[in-house]
Structure 1
Amino acid sequence: MVVGAAQAADSFIKRNHINTLPSAITRNAVQLAVFSSASHFRADGFYGKLFKLSRLLGLWVRSDLEIQLRTKYSTSTTLAASKMTSECSSQIYSLSSTTELNPVQVERLRSVLNEQVEIHGRGNFPTLSVRLHDLIICVRDSLRAAGIGPKNVKMNGGAASYVVATEEFAYSDLDLIFPMSFESEQSFDSVRSAVFDAMVQLMPESTNKEKISANTLKDIYIRKMVKVSDGDRWSLFSLHNDFGRCIELKFVDRMRRQFEFSVDSFQITLDVLLDRPDHPKPIITAESMFGDINKAEQSFGMKGALQHLNERLIDTRRPEEIRGGGLLKYCHLLTRGYKAARPNKCRQLERYMCSRFFIDFPEVNSQEVKLRSYLDNHFGTEDQDKYDYLLLLYRVISESTVCLMSHERRQTLSMVDRLAYQLSVNMYYQQSCIGGFCGHTPRQRLLYLPPNASYWIPVV
């Protein structure tokens, strides 16, 4: 029987490409799963056995294995349930809850929709300054004209959290979700054309709009474009802003994971205010994709998402399912004064986040590109905030990375340290130039070269 278990273990490892641990630990875990009593794991299946046993064995030496097992386990156990979820809702986290905005929150939402947002163009192209309400209407009308009108429009991200929070706070990211159906690959192209048509309509009247192509608009006003058609089906357009005031347009058919942390899991349906901006008493619904929006969720022993937001607490579920593990956003929340909702699980969450981040971005170059992009999108020109963020990120990676070899970890830390050093030099130069005095300004001399002379004559 021992031989049979060993053969089964080897077969499972090869079949599922679990090569993260080229040691006896992986093999022993699978063998233990084969020998396990069915009474303990009957409801979970084979992946459930392996996942639970990896937890029992304490495989924190290389947490990549557990991430692979947990991802396979969660995918297999939620496949049937995912077919029952509604459009544009989490396929795994179906415990969403809703609440109606109170009058104070409604007025705060009105102020956000009436805010002037800026989409900066590169080069000498004009900056598009438009009311957020008008931007949403323009995009929605373009989609309807293309025959792919959205079912509704939702606000997500920092702006939605700002609306539902008890106290006001500064936010930088503003996400707009357009739930719709992508019936074919052509639907993605139709969405792309509709977004570019809306951008052309927002340009000043003096612009010669006929000569502006889609590729030109993409290079000038679009910071990032994402298309996902593998399992999930959605696309994203991030509009360019020099000061980190990100505006992201998400067109979603299916998206399993629509939040990173509980504090950014809120979605507010905007259609009532879009259609009737002067409605005296609109009924507007806010939804939390994290779970119970108002009270503690007993099945998980967590506080509600609203309480996390108001008390500035950090919590999430299964960070290994988030692209990048949520590591960069987690460090951003820490720099803003947020604290872990479960301090005893903080280090465990950080290990998951780091492991998933280095799985998605294994090369130092890709890590640097992702990090620079995050800094530009969320901090703008605030060098001091960037510097503080990099110091905290350095500490988290240094203390919680368990999935890299020593030299790989040193390379990543050196890259973060180099970026922080560059920022410190920039800040020193800026401070030395305050008041018109700059210690780095070289001494200037005016020289004159007479005709037929072989040397310059100083004049001043």
Structure 2
Amino acid sequence: MKSKAKEKSMDSNRFHVLSFDQIERIHQVIESRIPITPKSHDLFDEGPLSWPSAAHRSPVSCHGIYDNYPTVHVKVRDMIKSLKDALREQQILVKEVRINGSAAGFIIDVDSMQNYSDIDLIFSVDLSDSNTYAKIKSTVLETMSELLATNAASGHASYSHGEEIILDSKPLCKRTNFCSVNLSTEPFVMKQYVRKMVRVNKPSVSESDSWSLISLGYQTPNGGKTVELKFVHKMRRPFEFTVDSFQIVTDTLFQFYEQERTLSKNLYPAVVAESVSGSFSEALYHLKHRIIATHNPEEIRGGGLLKYCKLLVEGYQPTQESDILSLERYMCSRFFIDFPTVTLQYSKLVAYLSDHFSNNDDVKVCYLKVLYSHSTTLILINHTLNSPWHPSLAPR
């Protein structure tokens, strides 16, 4: 338990104003086009991990019998602005928009060459009215559907077949389901790009949790990224480890864009970043030196165990100051609380492998070996030796 004096010191050190080098990086992220890839179709094996055989590497017309939806490349800047404008039209005020996750780490650590695997955007909204959840969901799906259709029709689309990418530089015609203006907001079309939707509403005096998530796109070997859109009123635990605790407020940068100014070393906006774990300098040190550390590990949800093993695979090591065994026991215990059945455990693990390691089987095997061999996680596999999913997941 941290003392009140230490908590106050950490709180005062939790913010950081971005340097010009970091501003250049956030500008790079916001101006980049994110490849949003649809779910695999009947042309392929079922599931996001499957990819077509060499027999299907030739260019395919958008009028193909398989209704092959393209990967659509959308600017992060356009995404944020379109969603804010659409929500405002529905009288839903977005107080601020933050970049979170691996993209935030990429921006903060300018010395690192490691790229980011997804885009996490946090929209701060008021969810005190339960009807707001449904309004946000319908508004976001409609807005993103229109944005995808517009970008695809403008030529910002590609078709992935095997190891090849076929770029379509011509406007897609209106005969296809995807590009038709009349069908651009059809639920079936948007369903191909929605990976998952989550709603959490746990009002409590001490531990209020009120937020929703819409996740778009699938990671692919050809660069497809996931886009996590979080709409947050209150979040009890906004981070798992210090290295993923960074959040960057984008609003002043967008105000700068609206004034049509050009970024330079002598002229750039004050953009604030925050480490929601407490100390920004501590979290940055952990990020640069690849250290695993956290606060109040008993609060980490069940997915924290899988994230912990992922950090180990990526070369991170627990800090010497932490009680590793206690940390691992907390995470294992919480994993089985949140995913009590073999079916749920299997689904969670398969989804995690798909979301974070794309089609890289070697890394998946390495990850499973870490999960299997680690002292307190042995129970994760060993207690299911006779279960139907064990042979397919146990490392060989």
Same fold, judged at TM 0.5 (above) = yes
CA contact (8 A) 1:390 1:416 kept: no
CA contact (8 A) 2:342 2:384 kept: no
- Aligned counterpart for 1:172 among listed residues 100, 106, 117: 117
Within 5 Å, give how 1:34-433 maps onto structure 2.
Answer: 97-122=14-39, 123=41, 124-168=68-112, 169-202=114-147, 203-204=149-150, 205=153, 206=174, 207-213=179-185, 215-231=187-203, 232-243=209-220, 245-277=225-257, 278-279=262-263, 280-294=267-281, 304-324=282-302, 326-342=304-320, 345-396=323-374, 399-401=375-377, 408=383, 410=385, 415=389, 418-420=392-394
CA contact (8 A) 1:154 1:176 kept: yes
TM score, norm. by length of structure 1? 0.65
Q: CA deviation at 1:375?
A: 0.9
What SS does the aligned partner of 2:280 have? coil
Aligned-residue identity in percent: 39
Structure 2 Cα separation of the partners of residues 271 and 221 of structure 1: 27
What SS does the aligned partner of 1:324 have? coil
User: Which is worse superposed, 322-331 or 196-205?
Assistant: 196-205
Structure 2 Cα separation of the partners of residues 345 and 208 of structure 1: 57
Structure 1 Cα separation of the partners of residues 368 and 247 of structure 2: 30
Q: Deviations over 1:54-90 (max 9, x none)?
A: xxxxxxxxxxxxxxxxxxxx9xxxxxxxxxxxxxxxx
Q: Cα RMSD (Å) of the superposition? A: 2.6
Aligned residues: 320
Give structure 1 regions of 4+ aligned residues with deviation exceeding 6 angstroms: 93-96
Runs (5+) with no aligned partner, structure 2 = 3-9, 42-67, 154-173, 204-208
Q: Deviations over 1:120-162 (max 9, x none)?
A: 2244223221111111111111111111031011000000011
Q: Which residue of 2 aligns with 1:69?
A: none
Q: CA deviation at 1:418?
A: 2.2
More strand by share: 2
What SS does the aligned partner of 2:69 have? coil
Q: 1:95 to 1:380 in 2, by over 3 A?
A: farther
Letter in 2 for 1:175: D
Q: CA deviation at 1:401?
A: 4.5
Structure 2 Cα separation of the partners of residues 416 and 332 of structure 1: 20
Q: Deviations over 1:384-412 (max 9, x none)?
A: 1111111111112xx214988x9735457
Letter in 1 for 2:195: R
Q: 1:117 to 1:165 in 2, by over 3 A?
A: same
CA contact (8 A) 1:178 1:252 kept: yes
Q: Which has the larger radius of gyration?
A: 1
More helix by share: 1
Q: Which residue of 2 aligns with 1:5?
A: none
Q: Which residue of 2 aligns with 1:453?
A: none
TM score, norm. by length of structure 2? 0.75
Structure 2 Cα separation of the partners of residues 418 and 215 of structure 1: 34
Q: Which residue of 2 aligns with 1:447?
A: none
Structure 1 Cα separation of the partners of residues 385 and 233 of structure 2: 41
Structure 1 Cα separation of the partners of residues 27 and 101 of structure 2: 16
